[in-house]
Structure 1
Amino acid sequence: MIKKILVFILISGFLSTHTAAQTHRQIELFDIAKGKVVMTAQPTPKVHEEVGKVLAGITGPYPKLNPVPGEGFMIKVPLEPSVRVKTQLFTGLVDEVIIIFPPYENPHLMFFDDKGRALAFNFKGDAARLLELLNFKQ
């Protein structure tokens, strides 16, 4: 139980670096098991385009109560300009997305709506392309 609380606190810190005053926000790769950011990169138009494709590929809500696994990694991508998402499940602007890569299931994504609620979704698409663009090897 304590481990789950600590992981939640660490991840909350990772997720809460979203501030309106930030400029030149970086992409961050967070290793869940290590509990820290292990890589940063500058956003590029190609990464922005690829994340837009992932958002357009939303297929349904992520079914598990906790979208953050005990191991694996997450990539937080700031989106400037924001991406307009229009699906049956969500319509609005997304200015930051977290793509979660669990070791034993397909990746899924999470972002915050305009009310600050975390929303997690499954998606179809090639998340491996995003990893290639970031030069990240598992």
Structure 2
Amino acid sequence: MKNSGPAKQILGMKISRDRSAGILNLSHELYIEKVLRRFRVNDAKPRTTPLANNFKLSKEQSPKTAEERNVTLQGFVDADLGGDVDSSKSTSGYIYSIGGTEVSWMSRLQKCVSLSFTEVEYVAIAQAGKEMIWL
């Protein structure tokens, strides 16, 4: 065993750090490009998706209105990978609050068996997004 310095890649993910800001990033970019080439869709046009594990939406308000009420919708979502040992299904959960008061929450098994952490998180975020439409 020898010290080769800080890790730059692990399990196909690129590692980047900003120690001064306390940030550690893992990127799946190389893996995604490999999958796109494998399925011959690497020339497809990229699209951005509004997916994140923690999201916050705010309505612009005047200072006078902001003192009367806080209309911030905040949501958190998480999932495990294959947490149910009998079915290998993952558990998703989300919680939404408006102005600091919880208004919607859910925790249940996903309907499909996910094969990666990325897939299980996308399924969880999609389910939470469906709920957000109604809030």
The bucket for the TM-score relative to the shorter chain is under 0.3
- Which structure's relative contact order is higher, taking Cα pairs within 8 Å and 6+ residues apart? 1
> Under a length normalisation based on structure 1, what TM-score does the superposition of the two structures give?
0.24
Who wins on radius of gyration, i.e. which is larger? 2
Which has the larger strand fraction?
Answer: 1
TM-score scaled by structure 2? 0.24
